[in-house]
């Protein structure tokens, strides 16, 4: 009897331990999730800095491969040359871009007013104007805008942080990679190193392809708008190229000011501009992107859209911008940590 009593006590103590372990794990997981949600914007800035570092290291690796120079020299050249090229570009055409942006900011409000007056000529148009200009619609738009353009340190502060994180990661990537690897048990560290290496490889390929597609969008849009005789062709094509970094939503955002500028010359010009943008997006999505993504992980379009919706809702603009590379990272992690492990069993 005494022995059975001891066994019952041991089982009760063991059960209590298991309960406390489960409670502890759930508490830690909950706190970790809350911390990630609160620090989501900061984590996105770190991830954006990582993409900048991948860009710099990609250029430095190319220089090192072609010249055989020392790695530190190639990294220095890649960083300095990038800033010099961007600075020289804006120095050469910065005045033209600035003047076109100024004209664009003055033109769009008057275009909205003209569009509003044209819509008021019909009953359906009046209903559309009333819905768009209602107090409820304005509040929703302000709430969305505030959420989308929210930032951790302000727009320029965020860009400053991202650039410096990118430079630091470029200068000594192994230091930070080792820090991540050492967070795992020794028997898992080799696997973690392989996963990080594959992540870097896939993100570099994705970034290379995305930059190529952005340039194609910029070039073809610029050619089309210049042939059409649109005065603001440069700033509109730059906007189209930059915003094509964001799949699905970026081209639509870039199209809005272009259509409004076209409406100044009449509906026919606006339709031609719409046709140019549709053609460029058709070319990019059906030829450039498939060609670039042949050796990349397959990303279903619906999955990218879902990721954009979730990331945009949770973190605003940064989440929407970085949703695609985060999806690439998630797919690589699932493949390396789960699917390949399952197939090897």
Per-residue pLDDT tens for 206-236? 898 888 889 999 999 999 999 998 888 888 9
Q: How confident is the model at residue 32 (pLDDT cuts 50, 70, 90)?
A: low
Cβ–Cβ under 8 Å, residues 202 and 257: no
CB of 245 within 8 A of CB of 210? Answer: yes
The structure tokens 């809350």 sit at 34
* Those residues with Cβ within 8 angstroms of residue 248's Cβ, 6 or more apart along the chain or in another chain: 304, 305, 308
Q: How many Å apart are CA 137 and CA 52, to the nearest integer?
A: 38
Q: How many Å apart are CA 336 and CA 340, to the nearest integer?
A: 6
Residue 102 has pLDDT above 80, yes or no: no
Question: What's the pLDDT score for residue 223?
Answer: 94
Q: What sign has the CA pseudo-torsion 279, 281, 282, 288? A: positive
For the question of whether the overall pTM of this predicted structure is more than 0.85, the answer is no
> Number of C-alpha atoms within 13 angstroms, CB side, residue 333?
6
> For the residues of 91-149, what is the DSSP string, one character each?
HHHHHHHHHHHHHHHHHHHHHHHHHHHHHTTSHHHHHHHHHHTSHHHHHHHHHHHHHHT
- Give CA angle at 252 (249, 256), nearest 5°: 140
Residue pair 332/242 in contact (Cβ under 8 Å)? The answer is: no
Summarised one tens digit per residue, pLDDT across range 266-285 is 788 889 999 999 999 888 88
pLDDT band at 330; cut points 50, 70, 90: confident
Per-residue pLDDT tens for 313-328? 777 788 888 888 988 8
Among candidate residues 174, 173, 214, 195, the one with its CA nearest the CA of residue 51: 173
Using CA atoms, how far apart are residues 320 and 305, in angstroms rounded to an integer? 10
């Amino acid at each position: 009897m005494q022995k059975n009593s001891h066994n019952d006590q041991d089982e009760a103590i063991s059960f209590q331990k298991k309960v406390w372990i489960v409670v502890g794990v759930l508490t830690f997981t909950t706190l970790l999730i809350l911390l990630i949600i609160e620090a989501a914007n900061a984590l996105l800035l770190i991830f954006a800095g990582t993409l900048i570092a991948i860009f710099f290291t990609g250029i430095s690796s190319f220089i090192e491969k072609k010249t055989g120079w020392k790695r530190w020299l190639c990294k220095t050249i890649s960083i300095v040359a990038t800033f010099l090229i961007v600075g020289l570009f804006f120095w050469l055409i910065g005045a033209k871009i600035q003047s076109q942006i100024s004209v664009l900011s003055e033109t769009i409000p008057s275009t909205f007013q003209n569009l509003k007056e044209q819509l008021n000529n019909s009953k359906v148009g009046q209903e559309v104007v009333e819905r768009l200009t209602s107090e409820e619609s304005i509040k929703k738009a302000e709430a969305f805008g505030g959420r989308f353009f929210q930032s951790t340190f302000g727009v320029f502060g965020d860009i400053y942080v991202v650039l410096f994180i990118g430079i630091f990661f470029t200068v000594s990537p192994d230091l930070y990679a080792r820090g991540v690897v050492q967070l795992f048990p020794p028997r898992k560290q080799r696997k973690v190193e392989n996963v990080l290496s594959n992540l870097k490889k896939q993100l570099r390929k994705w970034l290379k392809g995305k930059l190529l597609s952005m340039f194609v969008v910029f070039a073809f849009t610029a050619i089309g708008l210049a042939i059409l005789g649109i005065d603001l062709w440069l700033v509109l094509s730059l906007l189209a190229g930059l915003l094509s970094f964001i799949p699905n939503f970026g081209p639509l955002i870039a199209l809005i000011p272009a259509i409004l500028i076209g409406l100044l010359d009449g509906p026919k010009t606006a339709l031609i501009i719409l046709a140019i943008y549709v053609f460029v997006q058709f070319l990019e999505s059906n030829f450039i992107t498939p060609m670039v993504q042949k050796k990349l992980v397959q990303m279903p379009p619906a999955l990218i859209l879902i990721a954009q919706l979730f990331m945009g809702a949770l973190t605003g603009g940064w989440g929407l911008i970085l949703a695609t590379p985060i999806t690439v990272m998630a797919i690589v992690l699932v493949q390396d940590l789960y699917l390949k492990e399952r197939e090897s069993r």
